[in-house]
Copies of this chain bind each other. A is one copy, B any other.
Amino acid sequence: MPRAGLSEDRVVEEATHLADEGGAVTLVEVARRLGVQVPSLYKHVDGADALQALVAARAKRELADTLARATVGKSGPSAVDALARAYRTWADEHPGSYASTLRAPSVDNAAEIAASDKAVGVLFDALAGFGLHGDDAIDATRYCRAVLHGFVALEAANGFGLPGVDRTFEKLITALQLTLTHWPSLTI
């Protein structure tokens, strides 16, 4: 029996592909794809839950990188536009990865938390061009995340029954830009 040459990374990669193709991420299926028996996976990964967490951490890193690349050299409304489109596109193209990022990260998983922080950091930086500080910056960042995540999640769950979703997304970007521009005056 020649070795399959696996590694934690290889296993996580295959699980990610499986998830993004819409399959259920089971150890049975991952093992089958890797040409290996199920218990062999335990040499690289600490069970099904741990594999899920690794997939999530990988997904968050990739999302953060994608957002960072999309917004490089941009700021203010133009950064928001680029970021929103990159976010939606990535989520659409990696539905399994995106879904994996929604689980609350386990407290003991430093890698996943770091990846989370990185993604939020990119968003936070992109909003710097609006001149927000302190609580305003935090609140605006959270608002952005909520809008983008909410839209993408509803789209993924087929929550928008009718056509015209692209049109709605264009409006969403404009609304978001406007909201951020006027954020400080929201204190009424």
Contact = CB atoms under 8 A, between A and B. Distances in A.
A102 B172 CA distance: 21
B145 A148 contact: no
Nearest to A117: B161
Interface residues of A, number: 43
A36 interface: no
A116 B154 CA distance: 12
> How many copies of this chain are found per oligomer?
2
A109 interface: no
A40 interface: no
Contact of A149 (B142, B143, B150, B161): B150
Contact of A160 (B142, B154, B179): B142
Interface in A142-188: 142-143, 145-151, 153-154, 156-162, 164-165, 167-168, 171-172, 174-175, 178-179, 182-183, 186-188
Contact of A175 (B120, B162, B179): B179
Contacts of A158: 104-105
